Structures are given as structure tokens and as C-alpha cells.
Copies of this chain bind each other. A is one copy, B any other.
Amino acid sequence: MITIGHWKDVKQEEMLEGVRIRWLIGKELNPPNFYFRLFEVDPGKATPFHLHDWEHESFILEGKGAIRSSDKTLREVGPGNYIFIPPNEKHQFVNTGDKVLKFICIIPKKD
């Protein structure tokens, strides 16, 4: 069966202060290979500057931000930018604007 929903109707979880995540296609839908999440980052806030052994495939929906890389350089992103973060690459999504930064982030299913 095809599932259709709206991101606003999905329960949000506070990942850390000013960073919220919604699992649009998560464990409940039991997709075969990957999970589809939507993040919101408040102005002045950022996701953790970290690495892990799985990739991210992301797409900026709204707002103004920057991606911090392992060498700590920041690259600006905005609506329409896609971002491929390979496994084991240190990364961080930073909100550099004055509105919410909203983006999609897909990860492989490992469970």
C-alpha cells in the first residue's frame, strides 16, 4: 500500500536544543533500505559536528545555512542545494540565517 503524509503531521523529536527531527519514512513504515527524515534547525543553532560510518543524502528546503567539513571550512547552502556526505566524513549543518533551516536527510537502514 502506498503511504502519503505531510511532514507537519509527523511527530517531532527534539534532538538537541533548537534542532528538531521528524522521521517521515521511519521504522513504523518499515521501508526496505533507507529512512527519510526532515530536520529543522533554529537560527544560531547547529547539528552535532560529528562523523559516523553511514552516509547522508540531503536537500535544503528552506532557510540559509552552511555545511562544516572535517577541515572546519564552511560552505554556504540554501534552498535547492543537495549535499552528499559519504560515510566517515565529519560534518555539521549550521543555521547562519534568521529563519528556520529546513532540510531533508536520508540515511541507510541498518537494523
Stretch at the interface among A12-20, A42-50, A86-94: A86-94
A69 in complex: contacting residue of B2, B29, B69, CB < 8 Å? B2
Question: Which chain B residues lie closer than 8 Å to A69 at the CB level?
Answer: 1-2
> Do residues B108 and A34 form an inter-chain contact, with CB atoms below 8 A?
yes
A55 in complex: contacting residue of B31, B67, B84, CB < 8 Å? B31
Is A59's beta carbon under 8 Å from chain B? yes
Grouping DSSP codes into helix (H, G, I), strand (E, B) and loop, the A interface class, with mixed when no group exceeds half, is strand
Is A11's beta carbon under 8 Å from chain B? no
A104 in complex: contacting residue of B81, B86, B87, B104, CB < 8 Å? B104
A84 in complex: contacting residue of B2, B81, B83, B104, CB < 8 Å? B2
